[in-house]
């Protein structure tokens, strides 16, 4: 078994960070190789992923969950993995997130470590914009886009790019907004009616560019 430990600090309230992390069925949007995560009940998750050209499935159980504090899981069938994520408030609007993950080297779970940076920067950007700091929001979203691109997470890259493009357009940078959004939309194969694709297409039309 391999082990990953990673920690980041996010400029966002504890409950918002925790709630985003525990939306398990959203994981395929930003985890390369993961096809589907289905929450079977409050304690069990069913994973479907493509590993080494083969489709694999496994079940995992959440054996410990303390709201706004920690989530721990372990596989109960298929690919072996286990992990724990802890959340620590560092003030009213700052949270430390720590991950410890054990997984089989052939597995896809090592990509979970990247979720910390991807989700954290996206949330942080939303908060910066709410505070009126557009420049800081742009910086956070651009970092999230870089992580998504490196992971091959096209749908998640599109979601964050749509947020960034909307901000740029509102601040008069129409050409850059169109260029960024069109580039993020181009690799999406199928799923043309998903919420993320519809939102991106709607914004492109609003900016005067056909998707």
Q: How many residues does the chain have?
A: 211
Instruction: Confirm whether 22 is domain-assigned.
Output: yes
Instruction: Confirm whether 122 is domain-assigned.
Output: no
Which tens digit of pLDDT belongs to each residue from 69-80?
999 989 898 777
Instruction: Confirm whether 205 is domain-assigned.
Output: no
Instruction: Confirm whether 98 is domain-assigned.
Output: yes
Which tens digit of pLDDT belongs to each residue from 10-24?
888 899 888 877 888
CATH number of the structural domain spanning residue 79: 3.30.530.20
Instruction: Confirm whether 155 is domain-assigned.
Output: no
Domain that holds residue 20: 2-109
Which tens digit of pLDDT belongs to each residue from 182-201?
998 887 755 556 667 888 88
DSSP 109-165: GGGHHHHHHHHHHHHHHHHHHHTT-HHHHHHHHHHHHHHHHHHT-HHHHHHHHHHHH
The whole-number average pLDDT for the span 97-107 is 72
**Least confident interval from 16-20, 100-104, 110-114, 136-140:** 110-114
Domain count, the chain: 1
Instruction: Confirm whether 172 is domain-assigned.
Output: no
Instruction: Confirm whether 81 is domain-assigned.
Output: yes
Instruction: Confirm whether 169 is domain-assigned.
Output: no
């Amino acid at each position: 078994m391999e082990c990953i430990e990673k920690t980041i600090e996010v400029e966002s309230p504890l409950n918002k960070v925790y709630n985003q992390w525990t939306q398990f069925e959203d994981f395929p949007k930003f985890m390369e190789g993961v096809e589907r995560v289905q929450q079977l009940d409050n304690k069990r998750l069913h994973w479907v992923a493509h590993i080494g050209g083969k489709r694999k499935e496994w079940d995992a159980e959440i054996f410990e969950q303390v709201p706004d504090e920690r989530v721990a899981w372990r596989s109960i069938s298929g690919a072996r993995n286990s992990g724990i994520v802890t959340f620590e408030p560092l003030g009213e609007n700052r949270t430390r997130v720590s991950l410890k993950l054990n997984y089989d080297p052939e597995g896809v779970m090592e990509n979970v470590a990247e979720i910390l940076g991807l989700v954290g920067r996206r949330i942080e950007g939303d908060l910066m914009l709410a505070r009126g700091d557009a420049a800081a929001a742009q910086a956070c979203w651009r970092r999230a886009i870089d992580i998504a691109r490196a992971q091959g997470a096209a749908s998640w890259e599109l979601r964050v790019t749509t947020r960034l493009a909307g901000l740029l357009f509102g601040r008069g940078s129409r050409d850059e907004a169109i260029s960024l959004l069109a580039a993020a939309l181009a690799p999406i194969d199928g799923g043309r009616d998903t919420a993320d694709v519809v939102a991106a297409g709607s914004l492109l039309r609003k900016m005067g560019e056909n998707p």
